Amino acid sequence: MLGKRQVCQQLSVEAFARTHALSPMETLVLKALCGGTRPGEIALQHCVALSTVRSQVGSIRAKTGAETIGALVRMVALLPPMVGALRRSPPVAADHPARALAAG
């Protein structure tokens, strides 16, 4: 099985966060959880109380319907990868306005 770090791609986490209307701090907490960081470590990294992180996790779970942190991470891990689609450049049509400007 793939590790959490491999399956929770950053773009997938950000898209998931936007879809569920997570706050910027909740998004940071979600990214950390998907990276395998424990709530206590997240609190230390962001210089906040553990109770603050626990409240944020509770809010994330309420907004997403996840019953546990593990279920939350699995929800994100099951999202299709987004990187491949973003790296491809769109096809340029022969009659594209930019081509006409470059040729003229």
Q: Which of 28, 21, 26, 36 is nearest to 73 (CA)?
A: 36
18-48 per-position pLDDT tens digit: 999 999 999 999 999 988 999 999 999 999 9
Question: Residue 52's domain spans which residues?
Answer: 4-80
In a domain, 98, yes or no: no
Q: What share of the chain has pLDDT > 90, as a percent?
A: 56
Residue 41 belongs to some domain of the structure = yes
Residue 88 resides in a domain: no
Task: Using the predicted structure, report yes or no on whether residue 92 has a pLDDT greater than 80.
Answer: no
Residue 22 belongs to a domain: yes
Q: What is the CATH number of the domain that holds 36?
A: 1.10.10
- Residue 100 predicted with pLDDT over 60: no
Domain for residue 74, yes or no? Answer: yes
Q: For the chain, give the longest Cα–Cα distance.
A: 63
The verdict on residue 34 lying in a domain is yes
Kindly tell me if the per-residue pLDDT of 5 is higher than 50.
no
Question: What's the pLDDT score for residue 79?
Answer: 83
| pLDDT value, residue 1 | 44
Decide if 26 is inside a domain.
Answer: yes
- Structural domain total, the chain: 1
